[in-house]
Amino acid sequence: MHDAKSDAFKYDYSTFCERAFLEDFSCMEFSYIDNSNDVEWNYNKFFQEIRLLIERHVPVKECSRKELKFKLKPWISYRIQRMMKIRDRLLRKMKKDRSRNNCDIYRIFRNRVTNEIRKRKKTYFQNYLTTNFQNMNKLWSAIKTIISNKSRTSSCITKIKNENGVMTSDPSEIPNVLNDYFVNTVENISKTVSRTPKSPLDYLIKKNPKSMFIQPVTHLEVEDTISSFDSTKSIGPNSIPVNLLKILGHYIPQP
């Protein structure tokens, strides 16, 4: 599902040129990576350079109210948008001339648009729920979108009993009661568990102290991982669009 805040902005690809983008990237200097042993500093510096590159070629642009509306309603296809324009044109025509013919034409087409939107919305959520039936977060996000309404009730805790059984409605006391409960739960449960003189290591069968081997990651593995990303998914924590990351996927992993 879409979030209104995150969807308020978009990357502007209207003047994007992949060739110029790659040429600009090839001119970037990354020698600082070999001159520093600080992995975190190298990582932050690298992504800072990449972010500046993206901002030069694909600047962030604020979505118009109309664009934001359609981003939050992905079931509104281009065909439905065209139908909505025709509907609005018929409405303006009816307001100028309220003849029976104009009113009938507008109502028939308005109902057609409404039915098409309902049908597309139903299909969209059916496909969404089928695709994400194993992802509980996305499932609940879809369910909330389907059943949401403007008159939502608050889910805040207004009353709670403390450990002594006394009911309190003090907003400053409620967090302390919850905190005390969850902090003491583990300790209270541990008191009911019987102790054993054995060490957890005694339960291991065929112990092998050299059973774990970690080999260095190759640039081919990194390239394969980047190419496997889904371009339709949201951008990551470094705010790099997946499609741009794929364009650079062959060059970034090079040693």
Kindly report, residue by residue over 33-81, the tens digit of the pLDDT: 666 677 788 888 888 888 888 889 988 887 777 777 777 788 888 899 8
Q: What is the pLDDT of residue 139?
A: 82
Distance of CA 226 to the CA centre of its chain: 18
DSSP secondary structure letter of residue 55: H
109-133 exposure pattern, b = at least 16 Cβ within 10 A, e = fewer:
bbeebeebbeebbeebeeebeeeee
Reported as type and span, the H/E element at residue 61 is strand 60-62
Cβ–Cβ < 8 Å for 246, 236: no
Model confidence pLDDT, tens digit, residues 197-225? 888 777 777 766 666 677 888 888 888 88
CA neighbor of 21 nearest in space, from 50, 47, 42: 50
Query: Please, which residues bridge with residue 168 across strands?
Result: 160
pLDDT tens digits for range 3-20 = 544 567 778 888 899 999
Contact 72, 4 (CB under 8 A): yes
Q: Which residues pair with 160 in a beta bridge?
A: 168
- At CA 110, angle to CA 104 and CA 116, rounded to 5? 140
Confidence of residue 87 (pLDDT cuts 50, 70, 90): very high
Q: What is the pLDDT of residue 149?
A: 53
Q: Which amino acid is at 135?
A: N
Token digits of residue 113: 């648009």
Query: CA-to-CA distance for 211 and 245, rounded, in angstroms?
Result: 35
How many residues are listed for the chain in this entry? 255
pTM of the model: 0.48
What percent of the chain has a predicted confidence (pLDDT) above 70?
85
183-202 tens-digit pLDDT = 888 778 888 878 778 887 77
